[in-house]
Chain A
Amino acid sequence: EADIYQTPRYLVIGTGKKITLECSQTMGHDKMYWYQQDPGMELHLIHYSYGVNSTEKGDLSSESTVSRIRTEHFPLTLESARPSHTSQYLCASSEQGHEKLFFGSGTQLSVL
């Protein structure tokens, strides 16, 4: 069982609100990732980090931002949520030098 946790599990908010999706892992992994999963199932990489103070944008453009101040924590923030941000957000991590991804259970975000 992977030790990577996402909160909240579900979030329903109104347009214009600022939100932060939390992701924490207790495995000491250097690499962490955020994926956006649309209803059609596809996984799109929106952010990744190779260690503390390292963040990069992924393949899919996103208005969200991330930070990596601590190895175990990789939060994602939306300054002003919109209905187009409604999606499932999955956090993942991997160990340096290993390819296997460990995923959290995801946050289902609905913006009204």
Chain B
Amino acid sequence: GENVEQHPSTLSVQEGDSAVIKCTYSDSASNYFPWYKQELGKGPQLIIDIRSNVGEKKDQRIAVTLNKTAKHFSLHITETQPEDSAVYFCAASKTSGTYKYIFGTGTRLKVLA
């Protein structure tokens, strides 16, 4: 069936360093790839998304890259800060019909001060 693999499951970085989280999807018809951040005690919140007609998108310290051929997409966080510590989920979806997401398994990011 359709699935999204996400790596690593945990990631610790020093404050100021960069963090990279990678996802691989199986359904080649997927064309929408959001990233969600879940802080402790809260529901996930969308932080950035990318569509299949774009290779890269950036929003301040956060960027996402997409390689459709390889079916890979990645989240890049630069100049990490303690408030970036959270669980991050990638997802893949088809924007026709149901919009049902296939979520990755999550990455727990810890930024060490």
Contact = CB atoms under 8 A, between A and B. Distances in A.
Interface of A: 2, 31, 40-43, 45, 48, 59, 90, 92, 94, 99-101, 103-106
Given A43-B103, A45-B100, A94-B99, A103 B43 contact: yes
B42 interface: yes
Contacts of B105: 40-42
A101 B41 contact: no
B93 A99 contact: yes
A77 B15 CA distance: 43
Contact of A43 (B42, B46, B89, B108): B89
A92 B103 CA distance: 14
Contacts, number: 49
Contact of B103 (A40, A42, A105): A42
The number of chain B residues touching the other chain, given as a range, is: 20 to 34
Interface of B: 32, 34, 36, 41-46, 49, 87, 89, 93, 95, 99-101, 103, 105-106, 108
A99 B43 contact: no
Contacts of A59: 100
B101 A45 contact: yes
A6 B89 CA distance: 21
Nearest to B42: A105
